[in-house]
Chain A
Amino acid sequence: MAVTHPTSVRNTVANTVVDLIDAGAGAGTLEYQTSGDVEVATCTFSATAFGNAASGIATAAAITPDSSATGGTIAKARAKDSNTNEVFACSVTAIGGGGDIEITDVSVNAADSVDTTSLTYEAMP
């Protein structure tokens, strides 16, 4: 049988992870990157990046868009605190591609805006 955890534990885990984004002096970031780890666009979390988890799921507060992206083809994203310490990484695909994050177009032109309109983090089962 797979290991499972009660909701209270899952909430603790989710909160612990997402609170790491707030560890620096400033707001953390969600950095979209190419498959070669080159920055394409950087959105900025709120000062408190996520609200308290419920049912093992934490929901991000408003994320400030990158109104002038560097540009490139997005393949992944990394959440970092303001000291650039990585908190988690995830895949990014076009809509329907099955990525952890899905975006309307992975091909981003320089000066495009990239807006992360919703993001949740769910702890392990």
Chain B
Amino acid sequence: MPFPVVEDFVASSDGTPDTTVAATMPTTVNSGDMLISIIGMYDIDDPGLFNFTPASGWTNKRGGATSGAPGTWGGLVIAAKIADGTEGGTTVNHSTDDAVRDAIHTYRISGARSTLDGLHISTITVDTGSANPNPPSYNPGIGADDFLWLPCGMAFDDGQAWTAAPANYTDLKSTAVGGENSGVSVGSARRELNTASEDPGAFTLESAERCLIVTMAIQPAGKVATGVLVAGAAQVSGIADLGNKLATGALQADAAVVSGEALTEFTHGFFRLFWRRRRRSD
């Protein structure tokens, strides 16, 4: 099967702390597209761990959080949806129960499976502070396939840019908002690779940050079958075919139609054989 295709990408961010996490959708979204939002959030305004609620119709496929400076938390959520075709150009409002700053990458993907079970996501791992966050090795557990691999992560709290993708990965995306001690960023990159498992190398950050990182594998669309079944009235094309069908019983099974020519040929053949044997016996 062909690899899933990234049809569009949109970045959005909000440096003003609030409980709305607004993800801008691509201008065009077709029914059946897989929409994936990689959402990095940083909570420095309300002490304690915050909760994330996806917008109606969206699924929180994977979420994780880690504490930073005293009382602060960073969170990473992978929210996804199989599009119904009405999402194009809209803003999807997810929500939190504490005010957060956020940076978001939204991918529109075609050629993926028609259900979210085709979006495979590793556990989220924590990098407590390096300039090279390393997404985890991941095996979706379904054997080799034409996966679109999409490692990604969030970094806080200085809003550092993601400056290099893992080796062999392309299309690095980096979105940052806020500044020192108040910033959050997300980074992502992708690779088409037919394999059962993958261990992406490390991203590079502008400078060391606390990070949450994850590896995603997007499975290609399944097989699609269509059928036009025509109950056969088997045609007998000649004496040899007739003999073959008689021998195999196909005539009974197929409710065969013996064409006039075939029947004539068969009859003539029968009488030729009959007279030949009759002459010999005389």
What residues of chain A have their CB less than 8 Å away from a CB belonging to chain B? 1-3, 13-14, 17, 32, 41, 65, 67, 69, 71, 77, 88, 90, 92, 99-106, 108-125
CB-contact partner of A110 in B143, B224, B225, B232, under 8 A = B143
Residues in A neighbouring B12, C-beta threshold 8 A:
none
Please determine whether A103 and B225 come into contact, CB atoms closer than 8 angstroms: yes
How big is chain B's contact interface, by range? 20 to 34
Mark B residues whose CB is within 8 Å of A.
1, 113-115, 117-118, 142-145, 221-233, 235, 255, 257, 259-260
Q: Among A14, A113, A116, A122, point to the contact of B113 (Cβ < 8 A).
A: A113
A-B contact pairs, 10 of them (CB 8 A): A2-B257, A17-B231, A71-B143, A105-B1, A109-B143, A109-B144, A115-B114, A115-B225, A118-B226, A124-B233
- In the assembled complex, the CB of A86 is this many whole angstroms from the nearest CB of chain B, namely 13
CB < 8 Å neighbour of B231 from A103, A109, A113, A124: A124
The one of B225, B231, B232 that contacts A114, using a Cβ cutoff of 8 Å? B225
Q: Is the CB of B228 within 8 A of A122?
A: yes
**Contacting pair A100 B224 (CB below 8 A):** no
Q: Are A13 and B142 in contact (CB under 8 A)?
A: no
What are the residues of chain B within 8 A of A2 when measuring CB–CB? 233, 235, 257, 259
B123 to chain A, nearest CB (A): 20
For the complex, what is the distance from the CA of A122 to the CA of B232, rounded to whole Å? Answer: 9
Q: What would 5 more interface pairs be, CB under 8 Å, given A102-B225, A104-B223, A115-B222?
A: A32-B225, A103-B223, A115-B114, A116-B225, A117-B225
Give chain A residues whose Cβ lies under 8 Å from the Cβ of B235.
2
Q: Report the separation of the CA atoms of residues A111 and B223 in the bound assembly, to the nearest whole angstrom.
A: 11
Please give the distance in Å from B108's CB to the nearest CB on chain A.
Answer: 20
Q: How far is the CB of B118 from chain A (nearest CB, A)?
A: 8
How far apart are A125's CB and chain B's nearest CB, in angstroms? 6
* Contact status B223-A119, CB under 8 Å: no
Given the contacts A111-B142, A111-B143, A117 and B231 also touching, CB distance less than 8 Å: no
Instruction: With both chains docked as a complex, state the minimum distance between the C-beta of B114 and any C-beta of chain A, in angstroms.
Output: 7
Nearest B-chain residue to A40, judged by Cβ: B223
Return the chain B residue nearest A41 by Cβ: B223
- How far is it, in angstroms, between the C-alpha of A40 and the C-alpha of B192 when the chains are bound? 26
The reply to whether B224 and A119 contact each other, CB–CB distance below 8 Å, is no
Q: Which residues of A contact B257 (CB under 8 A)?
A: 2-3
Chain A residues whose CB sits within 8 angstroms of the CB of B255 once the complex forms: 124
In the complex formed, the residue of B with least CB distance to A43 is B225
User: In the complex, are the beta carbons of B223 and A105 less than 8 A apart?
Assistant: yes
Interface core residue of A103, A115, A116, A122 (most chain B CB under 10 Å)? A115
Task: Tell me the nearest residue of chain B to A5, going by C-beta.
Answer: B233
Taking a contact as CB atoms under 8 Å apart, the answer to whether B233 and A125 are in contact is yes
B222 touches A65 (CB 8 A): yes
